Amino acid sequence: MKLYIVRHGETNYNVLGLHNADPAIRVVLTEKGIQDAKGVARKLQSTKIDQIFVSELPRTQETAHIINHEHQAPITIDARLNDIDAGFEGKSVDEYHALRDAAPDSYNFRYEGHEAPSDVHDRIANFLGSLRASPTLQNQNILVVTSKHCYRHFQSLIDGIDPHQTLRKEILNGQILEREI
């Protein structure tokens, strides 16, 4: 199975530096974000995409629909691909990172009972396990459109990188991680 992990296109919240994990809040692609998604579509134009998985967040679905224009692959929404529910809805991403990075164990940092990065790591590991266990997906090309946080955990799990080392790794909007699993 070949996986193409893509970070969604730029959003209005990215521009403002705000966190969003609530699918009910309409965070949408900017004009640059639409161009990010179209850039991914161009890069994957000659690649056969058999199945697409997205989070519940509108920004990942919007990105996937733009990429899927040429492929017409089925799209499945999976909550395991949602961004970290850090307890910072609509608040500064930098403020959250400062608190997390100051914690004795940033990987297990949990703000006011919300998710820790380790929880997201477990969700992504569970998702990957279900892909690997599916006989129908074994010889397919799978596109996953998700957030920067989840992208980091995919890379950590697939490439065997210590997840502590990927917490602050910069992932650009529209960045593609291509891996055989």
Query: Rounded mean pLDDT of 54-71?
Result: 97
What's the rounded Cα separation, in Å, for the pair 162 and 164? 5
pLDDT at residue 117 tops 90? yes
For residue 67, give the nearest of 177, 124, 162, 143 by alpha carbon: 143
Domain extent listing, the chain: 2-180
Residue 167 has pLDDT above 90, yes or no: no
Q: What is the pTM of this model?
A: 0.96
CA distances from residue 39 to 8, 72, 118, 175 in whole angstroms, order as listed: 11, 17, 31, 10
Token pair 């705000």: residue:
18
| Gap between the Cα atoms of 101 and 107, Å rounded | 9
Query: Which of the four pLDDT bands, split at 50, 70 and 90, describes residue 70?
Result: confident
> Which CATH superfamily is 2-180 part of?
Phosphoglycerate mutase-like (3.40.50.1240)
Dihedral angle at the C-alpha atoms of 161, 124, 77, 181, nearest 10 degrees? 50
Is residue 36 within 8 Å of 173, Cβ to Cβ?
Answer: yes
Q: Name which of 84, 71, 61 is nearest 144 in CA terms.
A: 61
